[in-house]
Amino acid sequence: MSGWRRSVGIAVAGCVAWALASCGGDAAGLPPLDEDYPPEMLQLGGEVYDDTCSQCHGRNGKGNVGPSLVGIGDRMTFDEHIAIIQSGKGQMPAMSGTLTQEEIDAVAAFERITFR
């Protein structure tokens, strides 16, 4: 990305963040702007999601056998999200015996960012 485009992108992001903070909300129900995760975490989360979660929640997160994950960041906190992945809920099995904590954290981050 060229220098001027990056500068414009940063300026626009700053204006959006200021506007959202000023009105006390977020745009279009998106997760809070302060929810930021490292790229490596999101990459791992995407891999785990594809391998472990997509069969039930769909490739696009809109649900299949399992419920839709679209807007998951608006419906629950990160810690609540982690707890469901770890312990399961309804027909969803607990993943704490299958995935490492790093993988659980990564897939939650991926779902929250990807399925806005």
How many domains would you assign to the chain?
2
Tens digit of each residue's pLDDT (9 = 90 or more) over 62-78: 999 999 999 999 999 99
pLDDT beyond 60 at 100: yes
Does residue 88 sit in the same domain as residue 48?
A: yes
Does residue 36 sit in the same domain as residue 61?
A: yes
Q: Mean pLDDT: which of 15-19, 27-31, 103-107 is highest? A: 103-107
Does residue 51 sit in the same domain as residue 106?
A: yes
pLDDT at position 11 is: 37
Does residue 4 sit in the same domain as residue 35?
A: no
Does residue 51 sit in the same domain as residue 75?
A: yes
Closest CA to 65 of 54, 76, 77, 79: 54
Does residue 20 sit in the same domain as residue 41?
A: no
Q: Look up the domain containing 11 and give its range.
A: 1-28
The CA distance from 32 to 36, in Å, is 9
Tens digit of each residue's pLDDT (9 = 90 or more) over 37-94: 999 999 999 999 999 999 999 999 999 999 999 999 999 999 999 999 999 999 999 9
